């Protein structure tokens, strides 16, 4: 007899098989019992009819506590009433591991309780769906960049540099020297782009964010492509193609997960239609002012209500271009004809999900970069290696960073970025 996974049921209709699973839920009447089974690949129901399986097995099934692990024997059948489409007619149950008083019951629980039990909460169907979408976005990322001959580069996590500013740094002691957990791999990726042309990284990054919002984690994963001989305009095209590609792949391969999440697939499909609108920071400020946002003036950073208004206005992800230099990192290329803005673009997701990409064309010129580093209050000696790139064949280059968890949150249509990470690190939360 074959041992299969639930997801493979469609290939075994009419066969008697074994499946290792957990009992997620159950219900029974006097004559028939239903076990909601999960094995990590999918959820489906097991059915036992008392007259057919006998009293002894029926009683075992009826009394299985939630999250008992079991080896099930039975016949796979079509089940047109369920979303999944298949079920198993159970003829044997072997208890593998007992479970007692599982804390997450089918009733509603408060968010603090669920977060304290994140290690168990992951077993629920919604969390399962979110992690499947996350996995698909990661898989699609490798496919997209590998198909375009990018080389994956892994920048260090421990670093002496702080390109995104010094206020949100996690500092640690590195044999008597201060070191930081990386905020971005970008500077290293720029060095790698000068060695390999087109590179990308995918790894954890850290920000000691003191703000408690629906969008901020202190540890999150970023995809960071960096491309030599590529202008900002070309980079924007790659960015929108990449985002559309990821969504297309989720639509193709995560249909069931999107159903569990009750995500509007037509809406997602709309987000694959290119190009995404582009507006300048100046235009964005004007648009906000014309629509009742009197609090915003040129030079201000956009808050969440501002970004939400702008993206909803276009009903699509939208690029905001050419931000004020005063609020941008040192490494961004100055605008060729304007002193006050840099060649930067953020991609803002619709439906209130906020910024998912930050990117720019990179500054070139030794003296200019030294000046900017010093203006930002950074110690030049920590960046000598980065400045070397200006001495040996510098070229125009561009890159960007896409936040994985923000993208997962948006594609899944969930409320909070904390559910987009298996074990989220948030302000005041490092357990479990
Ligand atoms: O805009 P950011 O800060 O850009 C950079 O770090 C660049 N050095 C990237 C590059 O050009 N290589 O961050 C990029 C993205 C944001 O758009 C957002 O999606 C995500 O990273 N992000 C966060 N996600 C979750 N929690 C946080 N605290 C985040 N901070 C940024
Ligand atoms: Mg940003």
85 and 149 in a common domain: no
183 and 88 in a common domain: no
Among 349, 403, 414, name the best residue to mutate to test ligand 1's pocket (greatest count of ligand atoms within 8 A of Cβ): 403
CA 186 to ligand 1: nearest atom: 12
Residue 182 CA to ligand 1 center (angstroms) comes to 12
**Distances from the Cα of 284 to the Cαs of 221, 352, 401, in angstroms?**
28, 16, 21
CA 185 to ligand 1: nearest atom: 12
**Residue found under tokens 């939400």:** 308
Residue 278 CA to ligand 1 center (angstroms) comes to 19
**Distances from the Cα of 164 to the Cαs of 53, 221, 279, in angstroms?**
64, 15, 24
Q: Which residues lie near ion ligand 2 (Cβ < 5 Å)? A: 358
Q: What are phi and psi of 233, to 5 degrees?
A: -60, -45
Residue 105 CA to ligand 1 center (angstroms) comes to 36
CA 189 to ligand 1: nearest atom: 12
DSSP assignment, residue 419?
G
267 and 356 in a common domain: yes
**Residue found under tokens 């840099």:** 342
* Nearest CA, atom 17, ligand 1: 357
Rounded (5°) CA angle 166-169-171: 120
- Domain range enclosing 241: 119-419
Q: In angstroms, rounded to a whole number, what is the distance separating the alpha carbons of residues 223 and 419?
A: 19
Ligand 1 site residues, Cβ closer than 6 angstroms: 164, 184, 186, 207, 209, 216-217, 220, 222, 224, 355-359, 399-401, 403, 405-406, 417
Domains identified in the chain, total number: 2
Q: Yes or no: say if 152 and 145 are a contact pair by the CB < 8 Å rule.
A: yes
Q: Is residue 431 part of a domain?
A: no
Residue 237 CA to ligand 1 center (angstroms) comes to 19
123 and 82 in a common domain: no
Residue 411 CA to ligand 1 center (angstroms) comes to 17
210 and 92 in a common domain: no
Q: What is the pLDDT of residue 113?
A: 97
Largest CA distance in the chain: 86
Task: Provide the CATH number for the domain around residue 11.
Answer: 2.40.50.140
150 and 42 in a common domain: no
Q: In angstroms, rounded to a whole number, what is the distance separating the alpha carbons of residues 11 and 1?
A: 14
The number of CA neighbours under 13 Å toward the Cβ of 380 is: 11
414 and 300 in a common domain: yes
Q: What is the pLDDT of residue 429?
A: 93
84 and 202 in a common domain: no
139 and 87 in a common domain: no
Among 163, 184, 199, 228, name the best residue to mutate to test ligand 1's pocket (greatest count of ligand atoms within 8 A of Cβ): 184
Residue 355 CA to ligand 2 center (angstroms) comes to 7
Q: Of 36, 64, 97, which marks where a domain is finished? A: 97
Residue 137 CA to ligand 2 center (angstroms) comes to 20
* Nearest CA, atom 23, ligand 1: 403
Q: What is the pLDDT of residue 225?
A: 98
* Nearest CA, atom 27, ligand 1: 216
In order, the DSSP letters of 359-394 are EEEBP--HHHHHHHHHHTT--GGGGHHHHHTTTS--
Q: Is residue 108 part of a domain?
A: no
Q: In angstroms, rounded to a whole number, what is the distance separating the alpha carbons of residues 33 and 26?
A: 7
Q: Which two tokens stand for residue 106?
A: 């089918």
CA 225 to ligand 1: nearest atom: 12
Q: In angstroms, rounded to a whole number, what is the distance separating the alpha carbons of residues 317 and 311?
A: 6
Q: Please write down the long-range contacts of 266-273, taking CB distance under 8 Å and 24 or more positions apart.
A: 268/411, 270/315, 270/316, 271/243, 271/244, 271/247, 271/316, 271/317, 271/350, 272/244, 272/247, 272/248, 273/244, 273/316
Q: What is the pLDDT of residue 166?
A: 85
* Nearest CA, atom 30, ligand 1: 216
Query: What distance, in Å, lies between the first and last C-alpha atoms of the chain?
Result: 39
Q: Yes or no: say if 189 and 205 are a contact pair by the CB < 8 Å rule.
A: no
Which residue ranges of the chain lie beneath pLDDT 50? none
Which one of the ligands is nearest to 227 CA?
A: 1
293 and 229 in a common domain: yes
Which one of the ligands is nearest to 397 CA?
A: 1
Q: Is residue 103 part of a domain?
A: no
276 and 136 in a common domain: yes
- Within 10 angstroms of residue 106's Cβ, the number of other Cβ atoms is 10
Q: Yes or no: say if 222 and 246 are a contact pair by the CB < 8 Å rule.
A: no
Q: Which two tokens stand for residue 180?
A: 């930081």
Task: Provide the CATH number for the domain around residue 238.
Answer: 3.30.930.10
Q: In angstroms, rounded to a whole number, what is the distance separating the alpha carbons of residues 93 and 65?
A: 13
Q: Is residue 430 part of a domain?
A: no
């Amino acid at each position: 007899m074959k041992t299969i996974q639930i997801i493979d049921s469609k290939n075994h209709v009419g066969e008697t098989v074994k499946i290792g699973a957990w009992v997620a839920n159950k219900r029974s009447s006097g004559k028939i019992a239903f076990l909601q089974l999960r094995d990590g690949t999918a959820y489906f129901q097991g059915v036992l009819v008392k007259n057919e399986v006998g009293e002894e097995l029926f009683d075992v099934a009826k009394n299985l506590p939630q999250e008992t692990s079991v080896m099930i024997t039975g016949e796979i059948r079509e089940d047109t009433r369920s979303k999944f489409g298949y079920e198993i007619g159970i003829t044997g149950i072997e208890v593998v591991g007992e479970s007692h008083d599982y804390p997450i019951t089918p009733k509603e629980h408060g968010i603090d309780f669920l977060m304290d039990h994140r290690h168990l909460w992951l077993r629920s169907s919604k969390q399962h769906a979110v992690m499947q979408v996350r996995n698909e976005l990661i898989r699609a990322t490798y496919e997209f960049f590998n198909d375009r001959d990018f080389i994956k580069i892994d920048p260090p996590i421990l670093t002496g540099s702080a390109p995104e500013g010094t206020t949100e740094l996690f500092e640690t002691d590195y044999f008597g020297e201060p070191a930081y957990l990386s905020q971005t791999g970008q500077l290293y990726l720029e060095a790698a782009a000068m060695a390999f042309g087109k590179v990308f990284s995918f790894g954890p990054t850290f920000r000691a964010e003191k703000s408690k919002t629906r969008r901020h984690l202190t540890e999150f994963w970023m995809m960071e492509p960096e491309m030599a001989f590529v202008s900002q305009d070309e980079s924007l095209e790659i960015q929108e193609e990449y985002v559309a590609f990821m969504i297309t792949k989720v639509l193709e391969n995560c249909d069931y997960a999107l159903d569990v999440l009750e995500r509007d697939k037509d809406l997602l499909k709309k987000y694959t239609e290119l190009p995404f609108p582009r507006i300048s920071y100046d235009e964005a400020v004007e648009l906000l002012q014309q629509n009742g946002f009197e609090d915003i003036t040129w030079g201000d950073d956009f808050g969440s209500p501002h970004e939400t208004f702008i993206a909803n206005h276009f009903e699509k992800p939208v690029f905001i271009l050419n931000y004020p230099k005063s609020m941008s990192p040192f490494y961004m290329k100055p605008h060729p004809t304007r002193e006050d803005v840099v060649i930067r673009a953020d991609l803002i997701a619709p439906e209130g999900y906020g910024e998912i990409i930050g990117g720019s064309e990179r500054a070139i010129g030794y003296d200019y970069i030294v000046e900017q580093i010093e203006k930002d209050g950074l110690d030049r000696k920590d960046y000598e290696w980065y400045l070397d790139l200006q001495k040996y064949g510098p070229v125009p280059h561009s890159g960007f960073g896409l936040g994985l968890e923000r993208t997962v949150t948006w594609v899944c249509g969930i409320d909070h970025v904390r559910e987009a990470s298996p074990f989220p690190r948030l302000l005041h939360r490092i357990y479990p």
